[in-house]
Copies of this chain bind each other. A is one copy, B any other.
């Protein structure tokens, strides 16, 4: 009578839910106090369990970071999935940059985990990293589709858009001092990197 498939599924669902709660709590903590502030004691307490229980779901602290990295990379890939395809390269690229900047500035801890590696001793696993690679490939392709191709031009775009994010986060968190420059920046970049001059 025991071990029906439904019962097994239910147990697995319970386990997944508990694991998900730990991850959600971890995200709250790093958003609040930075990536360095994540400790297993506090994580356990905040999630309503004890430290050893955390080890029932994750092999180590870095395994938690790896799971978080995977979620972040997946979320990043999703922002690239449905970029617009209007007739205007300018409109398309503005949307692209806007979404990138929004993704980064809306969750600084996630941005740092994904792109700045500030945790000594942590390297994401290949599985967790894969969505990030996919997203970057898609970005390259999207740029090309909108008239910006060649490694040099792509590097220029990544540098400039990263700079916007970096300054916005460092010097005007929560504001729009740099995000409001997006249209200007896209115009400038397009004029200098487009395969064909703008119409």
Taking Cβ atoms with an 8 Å cutoff, the residues of A that contact B are 34, 36-37, 115-118, 120, 152, 155-156, 158-164, 166-167, 170, 177-178, 181, 184-185, 187-189, 191-192
Q: Is B155 within 8 A of A178, CB to CB?
A: yes
Q: Is A118 within 8 A of B115, CB to CB?
A: no
Give the contacting residue for A163; candidates B115, B164, B170; CB below 8 A. B164
Q: Is A156 within 8 A of B170, CB to CB?
A: no
- How far in angstroms is the closest Cβ of chain B from A88? 20
- How far in angstroms is the closest Cβ of chain B from A155? 6
- How far in angstroms is the closest Cβ of chain B from A124? 14
Q: Is B116 within 8 A of A170, CB to CB?
A: yes
CA distance A159 to B178 in the complex (A): 8
Give the contacting residue for A159; candidates B37, B118, B158, B166; CB below 8 A. B166
Which chain B residue has the least Cβ–Cβ distance from A188? B192
Q: Is B155 within 8 A of A181, CB to CB?
A: yes
CA distance A28 to B192 in the complex (A): 41
Query: Can you sample 29 A-B contacts with CB below 8 Å?
Result: A34-B120, A36-B120, A116-B170, A117-B170, A118-B118, A152-B181, A152-B184, A155-B177, A155-B181, A156-B181, A156-B188, A158-B163, A159-B160, A159-B163, A159-B164, A159-B167, A159-B185, A160-B160, A160-B163, A162-B163, A162-B166, A162-B167, A163-B164, A163-B166, A184-B192, A187-B192, A188-B189, A188-B191, A191-B191
CA distance A187 to B192 in the complex (A): 9
Residues of chain B within 8 A (CB-CB) of A37 are: 120
Residues of chain B within 8 A (CB-CB) of A187 are: 192
Which chain B residue has the least Cβ–Cβ distance from A158? B167
CA distance A185 to B155 in the complex (A): 11
- How far in angstroms is the closest Cβ of chain B from A180? 9
